[in-house]
A and B are shown apart, each in its own frame.
Chain A
Amino acid sequence: MNSLYRKFSGATLVILMTSLVVGFVLANILYFTVAKEKIDARNVETAQGIVDMLFYDHYEQVLAAIANLGYQMIVVDEDGYRETYGEAFTNDNLSQSAVDYVLGGGIYHGMENFTSSMLMMGHFSNSAENTVGVPFTMNGEQYALFLRPDNQSLFSDMHAILVGFIIAVAAVSLIGVFIMTRKVLRPIDQLTEATKAVANENYQFELDIRRNDEIGQLADSFRTMQAHLQHNNEATKAFINNVSHDFQSPLMNIQGYAQLLQNGITEQERLEYSEIIDRESKRLSNLTKQLLLLTSLDQPSYPLEKEAVRIDEQLREMVNKYRWRIVENELELSYKLADVTAHVDRELMMNVWDNILSNAMKYTPAGGFIELTCEQQGEMLVFCCQDSGVGLSESEAEQVFERFYRVDEARKKDGTGLGLAIAKEVIELHGGSITVESVLGEGSTFIVKLPI
């Protein structure tokens, strides 16, 4: 956490420094290429304006007055006599050659040619060399006027202001960055806490971040993930509970009755016990198969092997398979199947029909009827399985498609409680729906709708 603070503050400082340096360099380039020459020319103009006003009798007063307006001047006569007006030059190093050149009628461009170790700041150098010089005649004598604006005072004031400005900018930026960093880091700290909580399987951890930016989105995603994980966790626990119960009870039965078989028993008992062992091992075998199917269906990319399947033929095949059971259980089964072809996974759909029909046979007492119909309604296949069985209460009908849900709490009937859950999963994978309409004690109707 500290390191992020340091990084942000450091970055701000670096940015500030860099912008100062870059700004200075750019300003210098501008100054040396354009501004310096212009300033020189303007000052030459000013100097020429001044010398035009000078007359021998009052030139000193005029120059003193102009000096008061903020100029520094040196007047040199032919004899080399120098008079300074205004603020004294710190560096009075005006060369003789420059004086001679001006006295000879030339114009001295000291400002344009002046170089300083301080680059652009040389503009402010209070040096006699850093002037412009113009010649003038007064009373028939040649004079030279060297002039520069007195920006010494201006400069030192500006200097202080500029430094203050830079410091203020830096300080405010740093404080701003510090506050920003805190604002950014606080939710990150909270997220770290929350992540640790989730890692420790504490899914109740309340993440108190409500904002509209990217971090808010991250927090929202995190909460969604948390909810999913919690749900998955609960589902997994319930699942394991159910599975271990559903594995344990048949195993216990098998063990128990197998032990009984080892002792002296009557023929009738032997038949009874071995029947129980048979039934329970079948249930276990079914359970494993269905669990395997269900788990593979849960994979997000279960490969459906869709092909054109005659659904009515599949249903006839199913009826044929269970004909013995229908006859043995004295059920009355009738069906009315239209020729319907659908694009489905053959094996999976077979499993669906099997589960639905097995259920109907299981919960319909002797003498009852089962009726299967399938027809095409527009782009949908509609399959109904109506029975006159025990039926479902409203709450049972709601839960009947849930995994491991069994109406028969005592689990007297063989079954895994997974059949209809698988049917629902398969049908939904195909983009269809399965529903049940039922009246307790009168029977149930399962309705499957599948896109063709």
Chain B
Amino acid sequence: MRILVVDDDPHILQLVSIHLKKEGYKVEQASDGVKALQLLEDYDVDLAIVDVMMPNMNGFELTKILTNDLNIPVILLTAKGQLADKEKGFLAGSEDYIVKPFEPKELTFRVAVVLRRAGRSMESKVVAGNVKLDRQNFDVTINEHTLVFPLKEFELLSILMTRAGKVTQRSLLFEQTWGANYLGNELTLNTHINRVRERLKKYGATVEIQTIRGIGYKLEVSE
């Protein structure tokens, strides 16, 4: 995965790059919008992190070009209170933004979320029984209670819900959630599934994850 970082402040540029590299991403740096667009002639990137306040071309303009013309998801960096309501509306679509100052971990978390979201062209909202999934926000709503799910658990539930009533093989769950090259043991999957079950039960969900011995799992809507 390659990420483009655009910021006129060299320190922030470096800081963001270091944290992203530590997470295993390849990083390209640009100090303004024009240079960013030049860079894109040579590289394909999966995601761009763009500062709003920049000389030459501001972050919003660059974001428009990146999302509309080049189809690259963008995370905007903004100062506190810098966003007017109109601009927030503009961001409400596929974009995400982070208010400065932010924790490096907040940034890497958002990056992971946006990359996941961009990697799949699934329906953004899935419903089964009284459980609703919002892939946009990674929210799970059960009985009007919205829960913050850990990413992996969300991923598992999301796959099972889209295939509600059908048996899903363990290998597919592994591949979709941890990636094809993951060599984790079987227990990890069990643990995660069990946590999802607990949460569903606790909030009174009308869906149930059944274990199909030797094959995988099946999500059923109970009456």
Contact = CB atoms under 8 A, between A and B. Distances in A.
Interface residues of A, number: 20
Interface stretch (A68-76, A197-205, A326-334): A326-334
A325 interface: yes
Interface string B64-92: 00000000000000001100000000000
Dominant secondary structure of chain B at its interface with chain A: mixed
Contacts of A346: 81
A336 B145 contact: yes
Given A320-B137, A334-B203, A347-B81, A325 B148 contact: no
Interface in B166-192: none
A320 B113 CA distance: 11
A352 B103 CA distance: 19
Contacts of A319: 148
A347 B138 contact: no
A321 interface: yes
Interface string A362-400: 000000000000000000000000000000000000000
Contacts of B150: 327, 330
B127 interface: no
Dominant secondary structure of chain A at its interface with chain B: helix
Interface residues of B, number: 21
A321 B81 contact: no
B148 to A, nearest CB: 4
Nearest to A321: B106
A320 B107 CA distance: 12
B147 A334 contact: yes
Contacts of A323: 109, 113, 138, 148
B199 interface: yes
Given A347-B80, A347-B81, A335 B109 contact: no
Nearest to A322: B106
Contact of B148 (A334, A336, A337): A334
Contacts of A334: 145-148, 203
B148 A328 contact: no
B146 A335 contact: yes
Contact of B106 (A324, A333, A336, A337): A324
7 contacts: A319-B148, A326-B148, A327-B109, A327-B151, A332-B199, A334-B145, A335-B145
Interface of B: 80-81, 99, 103, 105-106, 108-110, 113, 137-138, 144-148, 150-151, 199, 203
Given A324-B106, A327-B150, A337-B146, 5 more contacts: A321-B106, A332-B148, A334-B145, A334-B148, A335-B146
